[in-house]
Amino acid sequence: MIQAVIFDLDGVLVTTDDSHYEAWKQMADEEGIPFDRQINQRLRGVSRMESLEIILEKSERPYTQDEKRNLAERKNSYYVALINQLTRDALLPGALDTVHALLDMGIRTAIGSSSKNAPAILRQTGIARLFEAVADGNQIKHSKPDPEVFLLAASLLQLPAADCLVVEDADAGVVAGARAGMPVLAVGAVAGHPLADLSAPTLADIDLAAWIRDYNRK
Ligand code: BG6
Ligand code: MG
């Protein structure tokens, strides 16, 4: 029986997936490293340093560990400047309605994000109080596709993994949810993912509360 929904944050609830792209793009342009939205797809759900390694695959020269740390910090400073301007307008279609509908029917809610900036984004958009538990990049050793962040969220809720449904917009995140043994709703570019139990273009296109009600009746 599904008792909770664990939401990824960037690209599922908030438009910050685009802010990640803008910040990496600025850094890559300054370094003269080719970077586009196609490469950006591979950064979804993976940690900051792993994202940097993917971007550096296209670099013409090697970077030392110190230089890599500086590049990652520089990108994060651009990103933080962008998220400091976020308002509720950054919430994605259907996000708030879905969370409220779930809470109204007694389904518990949590965040499972690879981002170290997740707490700041939740505060900035005013949605922090809607989630009982937050598992994020500050608390984990292995980012998605490792299931650690989702298993942590389930343990914070004190629920078995199979009783938590994951909502994801990243290939790495869908894989992580499936590896955690959780049903997965895939949205955005990964809608239709073979490991997902259900899919929708956005949260506005699916009545997740009704789907869970049906699932729990079976
Ligand atoms: C994930 C994003 O939510 O967080 C990734 O999908 C990002 O693109 C990762 O790299 C880490 O984010 P941060 O904020 O810790 O740099
Ligand atoms: Mg995401």
Q: How far apart are CA 177 and CA 137, in angstroms?
A: 16
Q: Is 8 a catalytic residue?
A: yes
The position carrying tokens 């279609």 is 93
Residue nearest to atom 13 of ligand 1 (CA): 115
Q: Which atom of ligand 1 is nearest to the CA of 137?
A: 15
The pTM of this model reads 0.97
The pLDDT averaged over each successive group of 10 residues in the chain (218 residues) is: 98 97 98 98 96 98 98 98 96 98 98 98 98 98 98 98 98 98 97 98 98 96
Q: Checking DSSP bridges between strand 164-168 and strand 133-135, what pairing results, if any?
A: unpaired
CA distances from 205 to 2, 94, 120 (A): 20, 8, 28
CA distances from 180 to 122, 155, 164 (A): 24, 12, 10
Q: Say how many Å lie between the CA of residue 11 and the centre of ligand 1.
A: 10
Q: Is 10 a catalytic residue?
A: yes
Where does 7-64 have alpha helices with state H? 16-31, 37-41, 48-56
The structural domains of the chain, ordered by start, are: 4-15+88-217 (3.40.50.1000), 17-83 (1.10.150.240)
Which ligand has its closest atom nearest to the C-alpha of 168? 2
Note the pLDDT of residue 145.
Answer: 98
Note the pLDDT of residue 203.
Answer: 98
